[in-house]
Structure 1
């Protein structure tokens, strides 16, 4: 894993901790003004910063994955996680714009290519993810929870990869 990916992982962890603390503080304060300030800080500072780091993380992951060799079992485990997320979104298709659902179908098609190794499928689907992240924010897709649930999976994959 590159130094930049490790740095982004730490930055994201820090931002998620800030987000959690502000949300918790908003829920526990009887002061309406403080609650409003916390919610504004989340909306105007924390979430945009998280979005920026997530997008950079996926762009960097896409770029670096070209030169990596993934352990087949690790790649398959990651594919299983991504496929489960796609299925979860598809079950609530009415909540998402057609553009997002179309891109999810493209990713799913890459993941289901017959006769292709899991590592090749994963690299193909990773190449689609950065625009997916941009669409997700426009379409209100819950990438925050996607990242929180799946970062450990991606990190294990990268740690097991070889250059």
Structure 2
């Protein structure tokens, strides 16, 4: 059973993504003089989001070890994460960052191990994610998290029930 704190953090992260989307849209539509002020707000939101995401993934790391995840759900999350890792690996800014590429390769290796149930793969891959998030948004890990987060949220919602 997922803790109430983890569930709360999940909703906080979703809220931050909505706020960021609104600010990014406002920046696109703003006059040039306003764009810098809006960018500062975006940067502040990203810092706050980063702290909440870091706690979220650290709690996931602690809680996933004690969970029994249905194989079908674990397979869905693991395959979704694997696709996102593969997508992130081809990003030029990521390819130029050796530590991030190494972390992605470790995650990919865990998610691709043959003969291991998806739940085991997922249990091994989740603890590696806080290392990816530590690089913050500068390397477009934000896109990875935006795409991977809904899949993990669906699993958390199923486990919450």
| TM-score between both structures, scaled by the size of structure 2 | 0.88
Name the CA distance, whole Å, in 1 between partners of 2:16 and 2:156.
22
Gaps in structure 1 of 5+ consecutive residues: none
Counterpart for residue 149 of structure 2: 151
Gaps in structure 2 of 5+ consecutive residues: none
The Cα of 1:58 is off from its aligned counterpart by 0.6
Counterpart for residue 54 of structure 2: 55
| TM-score between both structures, scaled by the size of structure 1 | 0.87
Name the CA distance, whole Å, in 2 between partners of 1:70 and 1:39.
40
Equivalent residues of 1:111, 1:121 under 8 A apart: yes
Name the CA distance, whole Å, in 2 between partners of 1:112 and 1:155.
22
Equivalent residues of 2:75, 2:118 under 8 A apart: yes
Number of residue pairs the alignment of both structures matches: 158
Counterpart for residue 13 of structure 1: 14
CA RMSD, 1 decimal: 2.0
The Cα of 1:73 is off from its aligned counterpart by 0.8
1:8-157 equivalences in 2 (<5 Å): 8-30=9-31, 32-43=32-43, 45-92=44-91, 94-96=92-94, 97-134=97-134, 136-137=135-136, 140-157=138-155
